Structures are given as C-alpha cells and as structure tokens.
Amino acid sequence: MIDVSHKQAIATAMGIISGQDGVPMPGDYDRAASALSSAQVVPFAKAKLAALTAMGCGVPRDRDRACALYFDAVVSGFPPLLRDMAVINDGARGDKGLTRSLLMRAASSGDHMAADLILAWERREPPVSASAIDSAALKTSLAKIFHAAPVIQPSSLSPDLPVFAHVNALTPLQCDYLMMSAAPLLQPSKVVDGDHSEQAGFRTSDGAAFLPARMDLPVLQIITKLASLAGAAPEQGEFLALLRYRPGQEYRPHHDYLPEDKADYAKVKRSGQRRMTVLTYLNNGYHGGETDFPKLNISHNGGQGDSLVFANIDETSKPQPQSLHAGLPVSQGEKWLITLWVREKRFWPWPAKTL
C-alpha cells in the first residue's frame, strides 16, 4: 500500500530530477536516488530507480540491477509499465505476440496510451496471436536494451562528408511511443542568437525535449540505439529533442555545431562540440519536409524508424561548413522526427557513479 511517506519521497525525487526545485547540484541526485529507494514498494518508484541505476545517476551504474529492478516493477502489473515493457520488447525485436499481450493487458487495465498504441499497431501489422506473458522472455528483452548495435549496414550518401542513412533504426512502435509521449509537451520551437533575441520565422516547428525526468528505460533503450549509430555512448548524447512540422513549417539552413558567439558554447568546454547529429523520422504519410544539404546536393526523407546520421565537425574538432542543412517546408500532412546531438565527451549533467 502507498502511504504518505512514499508519496512524499517520490515527490521529492521527481522535484529534484525535473529541476523544479532548481538546478540539481551533484549531491541532489544522490538524494533523489535515496528517496526513490525508500519508496520502491511503489512500482513507479522502482521503475524510476531502475532508470537512475542504468544511468549511474545518484547511484552506482549497474545495468543488471537496473533490469532486475525494472522486471520486478513490471510484474506488479502496473498498466503504464506493462505498456512500456511492450515498447522495450518490440525494440529488442522480441516476440510480437508478447508485445501485443502486454499492450492489451495495459489497455484493458485503463492505460489510454496503450489503447492508442494497439490501434496504431493493428493498422499496420499483420494479424498476430497474443502470447503468454512469459517472465523469461521479459528478462531476455530487458537484457538486450543496452546492447543496441546496428543490424543493417548503413548507406553512405556523400563522398564529401560522413552522411549515412540507416533503415529501421527504431521500430514503428517505438516511434509511436515517442510521438504520443511528447505530444502533450509540444511548444513552438525557438532559435536564439548570440544576444538572446529570437529569430522569428527561422524555425517554425513545434518541439519538446525528453529531459531527465522522462528518461525511463524505453527512452534509454532508444537513446542507446541512436547513439550507437554515431559510434558513441548514450551519455554523450544531449537530451532527445522531438520536432513536429505542419504544412508550411520549416527549419531554414543552419549548422548544428555551436559557434563561439552562442550562449551555450560554454558547455563545449565540458562536453565538447556536437560531433554528430542523428535524425530519426517517426512517421510516414506526409509530403515535402526533406532534410536538405544545399552544399552537398542531398535531399533526403526517411521512412518511419529510419535514421540519418551526419558529422558536424572533423576529426580535429574543426566545424564542417558543408554540414549546412535545412528542414524543407512540409506541403501536406505532419512530419515528426527526433534529434539526438552527440557530443565529443560526456553530456549527461550528473556525476558518473560506477561500481
């Protein structure tokens, strides 16, 4: 049973991780992990503690323990965790019947996102029979989430700059999960120049970020996979940024590396430059919206789950002007994508804790 002390502990931890109590100091992450540990009889708290354990955030990084904690939370039957486990199982290319069973169990227990995911699933997937929810299969999928090596050889799109197209980097279910999770958070995108003034009309999409409070195991599985496409560890990635472009919306030509006159260039001293960009297309069914490289004569659109990976700097950390790129205007439908900017060094802001 959840008592008042458990609720207070969870509220304390989430207040720290979300930053609502101010920018966390190094010791604050320890307090958050300790609070969640004291409340881990609650499945939500145990799942959050699993994510912190996987990231080495306030507690020593131990992926085996993270998976064990998360498994215990899932088998409690808490509907949102059954849904998230379905996404993890699908991302691990596990049994589709098990994915369906987890989604159906969560939906029948009142999880609305699971209901939406199963409807999207049934519109595109061949009919599949539900499988028994098998503990061994769940553990197998959890064991795979931090070992996301690319399966398909990427295609090189340019001889002048490392630009690679990866097919099916994420599954359609993972893409749907990201879109549904971020939809309530969307706000008009902004671009700020060196004197902090907004550049009107330069970027007309809507955006949202998966900040630490939302970095649960399904998101960490996705980050691990996308970082691996850039040959990087997940902690080198900035927080996932999701963008939605409606008809007429665009992102005019720009570079992703950070010029020295930008306010956030100070972070380069800690984390290095944005070495690579990983763009992942989350949906089909729109027209226009190509990712365009005017200096390379490349205009590319991927299908749902495909990724485009390109370099922003060379091996000496020198910015590459030919990485100039744009999101061309969408002419019909909506385009959704997720961006992972990969730094040269660790970006995650909490002190790394290891065993």
Using one digit for the tens of pLDDT, what is the confidence trace for 246-282? 999 999 999 999 987 666 666 688 899 999 999 999 9
pLDDT of residue 57: 96
Angle at 190 between CA 337 and CA 167, to 5 degrees: 15
Same structural domain for residues 64 and 92?
Answer: no
Q: Which amino acid is at 21?
A: D
Q: Is residue 349 part of a domain?
A: no
Same structural domain for residues 23 and 58?
Answer: yes
Same structural domain for residues 240 and 328?
Answer: yes
Is the pLDDT confidence value at 84 over 60? yes
Structural domain that includes position 94: 79-144
Helix (H) or strand (E) holding 339: strand 335-343
Same structural domain for residues 67 and 83?
Answer: no
Q: What is the mean pLDDT of residues 162-166?
A: 97
pLDDT of residue 136: 94
Kindly indicate the confidence band of residue 195, based on its pLDDT and cuts at 50, 70 and 90.
very low
Kindly indicate the confidence band of residue 190, based on its pLDDT and cuts at 50, 70 and 90.
low
Kindly indicate the confidence band of residue 146, based on its pLDDT and cuts at 50, 70 and 90.
confident
In whole angstroms, give the CA distance from residue 298 to residue 303.
Answer: 16
Same structural domain for residues 168 and 279?
Answer: yes
Q: Is residue 149 part of a domain?
A: no
8 Å CB contact between 209 and 242 = yes
Same structural domain for residues 197 and 292?
Answer: yes
Same structural domain for residues 315 and 258?
Answer: yes
In whole angstroms, give the CA distance from residue 187 to residue 74.
Answer: 32
Same structural domain for residues 216 and 250?
Answer: yes
Q: Which of 125, 144, 163 is the last residue of a domain?
A: 144
pLDDT of residue 150: 60
Q: Is residue 219 part of a domain?
A: yes
pLDDT tens-digit profile of 311-348? 999 999 999 999 999 999 999 999 999 999 999 999 99
Same structural domain for residues 170 and 311?
Answer: yes
Q: Which of 44, 74, 104 is the last residue of a domain?
A: 74
Q: Which of 22, 48, 74 is the last residue of a domain?
A: 74
Q: Is residue 352 part of a domain?
A: no
Please state the pTM of the whole predicted model.
0.94
8 Å CB contact between 277 and 342 = yes
Q: Which amino acid is at 273?
A: Q
Q: Is residue 229 part of a domain?
A: yes
